[in-house]
Homo-oligomer: A and B are copies of this chain.
Amino acid sequence: MATINENYLKLKAGYLFPEIARRVNAFAQANPAAQIIKLGIGDVTEPLPQACRQAMIHAVHDMGDRATFQGYGPEQGYPWLREKIAAQDFQARGCDISADEIFISDGSKCDTGNILDIFGSNNAIAVTDPVYPVYVDTNVMAGHTGPANEQGEYEGLVYLPINAENNFTAAPPSQKVDLIYLCFPNNPTGAVATKAQLQEWVNYARENQAIIFFDAAYEAFITDPDIPHSIYEIEGAQDCAIEFRSFSKNAGFTGTRCALTVVPKTLTAQTQAGAAVDLWKLWNRRQSTKFNGVSYIVQRGAEAVYSPEGQAQIQDLVRFYLENAKIIRDQLTTAGLQVYGGVNAPYVWVKTPNALSSWDFFDKLLHNCHVVGTPGSGFGAAGEGYFRISAFNSRDNVNQAMKRIISKL
């Protein structure tokens, strides 16, 4: 009799984005004339950079000639891509990261889930609240939690609230934890962490022999020169942190699929008996056995991000979305709302007015303005009373949405 992984049954059925889709569809059916503007899901809208498209077309042609055809590539990614990432994303910022510490993958969502494969089942795990739901759900599926309570908090996880009171940057907990998820610039709040704040986390991790999972998917949106882009800009991070990055948001690869994970060779974790084991070796074994590399064509597209033209084009894209974020911040402030984020991040985090719940504000915005955002409570209990507005949309849509909010909310 085949049995299932019963941890899946602990997952809350009403996942955030399906519930949003359900409410939007119901409203659209009841109001077929409404022109709904979606500033909900964090998906890009602008065309892929020309440099990436040219490189991919070239790569498709490579696949048509026996002499340049590519079969199985290295599971870790092609050296020509890993070397450019190491040089331009890390070494250029003073981070001592080498090409063979970079693992190319098809997405940070996959990697932040899969990374748990190489860790034991008895680690104490900390997440911020609100948080990207994938961090939590993958731990539930792996059996690292008990059931959820009414607020959706899972037994056994350590939740670190981030809110206006602590400037949306949680401090290390008083208790001992072993694995810590941090995401800066933060999804969903748009907050960033200073060097001093990250140094505190690194110090905590080293003192407690903990590992930090640092999600830097939004680093390209940092405008403040004092804010670190990589955890490896922090002294000691190479002994305690794994970093996740993506081409989804800087180069618009959400539908093209390429990302990377950095596992420094200096990183270790322990056996139950207290022996140190290299995490690089475990992740390399995991990827070699359960993954077969990213499409050659897509990796050539990602490589083009590092050409001078590619760099200019992704900077244009980032500037475009950041200008959207500025418009959203300014206009919502004009509308009398309290806003956070949106300066070093493509997300604006809004305090709901009049103590409305996140979902009530969602419904009000949808019904009065025909604008869709994301309820803060969908990212965790401490997100209740907040709301996420995404800057990923056309300028026309952003302007139109803000006009409606100012006049009709």
Chain B contacts of A46 at CB under 8 A?
66, 69
Decide: B254 and A71 in contact? CB cutoff 8 A.
yes
CA distance A65 to B208 in the complex (A): 50
A3 at the interface (CB under 8 A from B): yes
Chain B contacts of A22 at CB under 8 A?
none
Decide: B63 and A292 in contact? CB cutoff 8 A.
no
CA distance A9 to B45 in the complex (A): 45
Chain B contacts of A43 at CB under 8 A?
71-72
Copies of this protein chain in the complex:
2
Decide: B1 and A279 in contact? CB cutoff 8 A.
no
Chain B nearest Cβ from A400, distance in angstroms: 16
A296 at the interface (CB under 8 A from B): yes
A6, A46, A123 interface centre (most CB from chain B within 10 Å): A6
Question: Which residue in chain B gives the minimum CB-CB distance to A137?
Answer: B289
* Majority SS at the chain A contact face: loop
Given contacts A3-B178, A209-B1, A211-B2, contact A48 B63 (CB under 8 A): yes
A113 at the interface (CB under 8 A from B): yes
Contacts of A193-251 to chain B: CB distance below 8 A: 208-211
Given contacts A109-B292, A114-B290, A295-B295, contact A1 B69 (CB under 8 A): no
A293 at the interface (CB under 8 A from B): yes
Decide: B293 and A4 in contact? CB cutoff 8 A.
no
A298 at the interface (CB under 8 A from B): yes
A64 at the interface (CB under 8 A from B): yes
Question: B72, B255, B282, B295: which contacts A72 (Cβ < 8 A)?
Answer: B255
Q: A82-90, A148-156, A264-272, A354-362: which lies at the B interface?
A: A264-272
Question: B2, B113, B285: which contacts A119 (Cβ < 8 A)?
Answer: B2
Decide: A2 and B60 in contact? CB cutoff 8 A.
no
Return the CB mask of A286-317 against B: 1 if under 8 Å, else 0: 10111111111110000000000000000000
Q: A49-57, A160-168, A336-344: which lies at the B interface?
A: A49-57
Chain B contacts of A210 at CB under 8 A?
1-2
Decide: A4 and B289 in contact? CB cutoff 8 A.
no
Chain B contacts of A47 at CB under 8 A?
63-66, 69
Given contacts A6-B120, A66-B394, A141-B286, contact A72 B178 (CB under 8 A): no
7 A-B contacts (beta carbon < 8 Å): A44-B71, A48-B63, A56-B56, A57-B60, A71-B252, A72-B255, A257-B295
Which residues on A are within 8 Å of B, measured CB to CB?
Answer: 1-6, 8-9, 11, 15, 41, 43-48, 50, 53, 56-57, 60-61, 63-66, 69-73, 106-107, 109-110, 113-114, 117-123, 134, 137-138, 141, 178-179, 208-211, 252, 254-257, 269-272, 277, 279, 282, 285-286, 288-298, 394
The 9 closest A-B pairs by CB, nearest first: A3-B120, A70-B255, A113-B290, A43-B71, A2-B269, A1-B209, A48-B63, A2-B178, A71-B254
